[in-house]
Amino acid sequence: MPTVLALETSCDESAAAVVRQGRVLAGAVASQVEEHARWGGVVPEIASRRHLEALPPLIERVLAESGVAMAELDAIAATVAPGLVGALLVGSITARTLARLHRRPFLGIHHLEGHLCSVHLGDPLPPEPHLVLLVSGGHSELVRVDGPGAYRRLGRSRDDAAGECFDKVARLLGLGYPGGPAIEAAGREGDPHRFRLPKGRVSLPGGGFHPYDFSFSGLKTAMMRLVRELQEAGGPLPLADLAASFEQVVAEVLVERSLRCARDQGLGRLVLVGGVAANRRLRQRLAMAAGEIGLDWRVAPLAYCTDNAAMVGVAAEQRLLAGCLSDPGLGVAARLPLEEAAVLYGTPPPI
Ligand code: KG4
Ligand code: ZN
C-alpha cells in the first residue's frame, strides 16, 4: 500500500498532496490565477517565482495534515513533463532534493498521466481497455488505454486546445481569466441554441475529414466575427447567450467525436478528465449522449479536474506498483507525448 508525496508545478497551480492507495490523505493547491489574470494568461517567469515561494509551505501543510512522516513515504513524485520548463524545474528539483535528503525513491510523472489518473479519486477506474477524453488548457486528446501505462492517442486538436479556446473567447467577451469558469458563469442562464457556431473539422489529404481530431481556431474566429457584428448593430452584447452557445458547440463536438471514436474502436467505456471536464454543460451532454447508447462513462471528481497534486500522487502509486522508479538525474521537458511516458523510468535518464 504505497504512500506518496506528490508535487505539481507544471503551469499556474502550485500543489502538494499525500496520497495512499488512491485516497488523498491531504492535498493543497495554491492558485496563481489572480496574478496571471492581470496579463490575460500565464506569464512563465512569474509562475516559476511563485512556485518557489508557494511550494515549501504547501509541503509542510500536507505532511502535517496527513500525519505522515518523511520516513513513511514510499516515494516522492513531481510532474516533470509537459509544461513550462522553469515551473516544472521548481517541482522537480524540490522533489529530488527531498528524496535525496530523506533517502526516498523519486518518480517523475507525466502531467497527462496525472490527469488520466484523476478519475481514480472518485469511482474506481473502469477496466481497460477504455477511451479517455482529456481536455485541458494545453491538450485536447482522445487516448485509448489498453493497460497501465499503455496509451495510444487516437485524436487530438490540430490548433487550440479546448481550454485555450475557452480562455481566448472569454478574453474576447471581456470575461477575464481563466476563461472556462468565467464563461460557465456567464452562460448559466443563456440560450445555448441562439447562435449557430461551426464545429471545426480537420480535412484529410485524400478528401473527407479526420473522424476524431478537433480544431477550435475556426470557432474562435467565428466568435470574433459574431461579436463584431453584434457590436456594429449596437446595444449591449448578449453575453449569456453568447457564452451558452459557445459552450454548447464545444460540448457537442467533444462528445460527438468521443462517442464515434469509442464506437469505432469497440470500446464500451469512456472517461472524461482535465480542466475542461469541470464544465457542467459538457458533463451533462456526455451523460445524456452516453446514456442514450448505453456507454459506461466516468468523469473525474470536480475538485480534481483542474491541476492538482493528488492526481500526480495516484499516477505515481500506479507507476510504483508497476516497479518503476526515476533516475535522480531525471530532468524536465516542455513536450513529451503521453505514449512515451515510460521513458521517465529509464536509465540513463532521457531528459
Ligand atoms: O487541466 P488544467 O487545470 O490545466 C492544464 O493542464 O492545462 O486546465 C485548465 C483549463 C483552462 O483553460 C480553463 O479555462 C479550463 O481548464 N477550465 C474550464 C472550466 N474550469 C477550468 N473550462 C470550461 N469549463 C470550466 N468549468
Ligand atoms: Zn493539467
List pLDDT tens digits, range 171-195: 999 998 899 999 999 999 999 999 9
Residue 301 has which C-alpha cell?
A: 471528481
| Nearest Cα residue to 162 out of 238, 213, 204, 88 | 213
* pLDDT (0 to 100) of residue 42: 87
| Nearest Cα residue to 351 out of 110, 58, 50 | 110
Ligand closest to the CA atom of residue 186: 1
Q: What is the mean pLDDT of residues 110-121?
A: 97
Say which residues have a Cβ less than 8 Å from residue 89's Cβ, sequence separation at least 6: 48, 332
Split at pLDDT 50, 70, 90, the class of 78 is very high
Instruction: Give 136-166 pLDDT, tens digit per residue.
Output: 999 999 999 999 899 999 999 999 999 999 9
**Secondary-structure percent of the chain, ordered helix, strand, coil, rounded to 5:** 45, 20, 35
pLDDT at 312 over 80: yes
Q: Respond yes or no on whether the N-terminal peptide bond of residue 129 is cis (omega within 30° of 0).
A: yes
Tell me the CB-side half-sphere exposure of residue 65, using CA atoms within 13 A: 16
181 CB within 6 A, ligand 1: yes
- Could you tell me the CA-to-CA distances from 293 to 129, 207, 263, 284 in Å, in that order? 18, 29, 10, 15
User: Coil, strand or helix: which one is 184?
Assistant: helix
User: Coil, strand or helix: which one is 274?
Assistant: coil
* pLDDT (0 to 100) of residue 88: 98
Q: What is the mean pLDDT of residues 39-49?
A: 89
User: Coil, strand or helix: which one is 146?
Assistant: strand
Average pLDDT, the chain: 96
Split at pLDDT 50, 70, 90, the class of 123 is confident
* pLDDT (0 to 100) of residue 34: 86
Q: What is the mean pLDDT of residues 211-231?
A: 97
278 CB within 6 A, ligand 1: yes
216 CB within 6 A, ligand 1: no
Residue 317 has which C-alpha cell?
A: 502509486
- Could you tell me the CA-to-CA distances from 279 to 14, 119, 265, 269, 299 in Å, in that order? 22, 15, 26, 20, 11
| Nearest Cα residue to 143 out of 10, 271, 291 | 271
Q: What is the DSSP letter of 127?
A: P
- Could you tell me the CA-to-CA distances from 295 to 22, 134, 154 in Å, in that order? 25, 17, 18
Ligand closest to the CA atom of residue 109: 2
CA of 118 to the centre of ligand 1 (A): 14
Query: Closest ligand 1 atom, CA of 307?
Result: 3
Residue 186 has which C-alpha cell?
A: 456567464
* pLDDT (0 to 100) of residue 163: 97
* Percentage of the chain modeled with pLDDT above 70: 100
Contact 248, 183 (CB under 8 A): no
Helices 280-293, 239-265: inter-axial angle, 10-degree rounding? 40
Q: Which of 136, 254, 338 to mutate to test the pocket of ligand 1 (most atoms within 8 A of CB)?
A: 136
pLDDT at 54 over 80: yes
d(CA 118, CA 286): 18
Ligand closest to the CA atom of residue 13: 1
Q: Could you tell me the strand order of the sheet in which 130-135 lies? A: 150-156, 140-147, 130-135, 269-273, 296-299
d(CA 4, CA 97): 15
* pLDDT (0 to 100) of residue 84: 97
**Other Cβ atoms closer than 10 A to 294:** 7
* pLDDT (0 to 100) of residue 33: 86
Q: Which of 279, 299, 306, 311 to mutate to test the pocket of ligand 1 (most atoms within 8 A of CB)?
A: 306
Say which residues have a Cβ less than 8 Å from residue 149's Cβ, sequence separation at least 6: 113, 318, 319, 322, 341, 342
Element (H, E) at 218: helix 217-232
Q: What is the mean pLDDT of residues 307-325?
A: 97
* Percentage of the chain modeled with pLDDT above 90: 93
* pLDDT (0 to 100) of residue 36: 86
pLDDT at 126 over 80: no
274 CB within 6 A, ligand 1: yes
Query: From atom 7 of ligand 1, which residue's Cα is the shortest distance away?
Result: 137
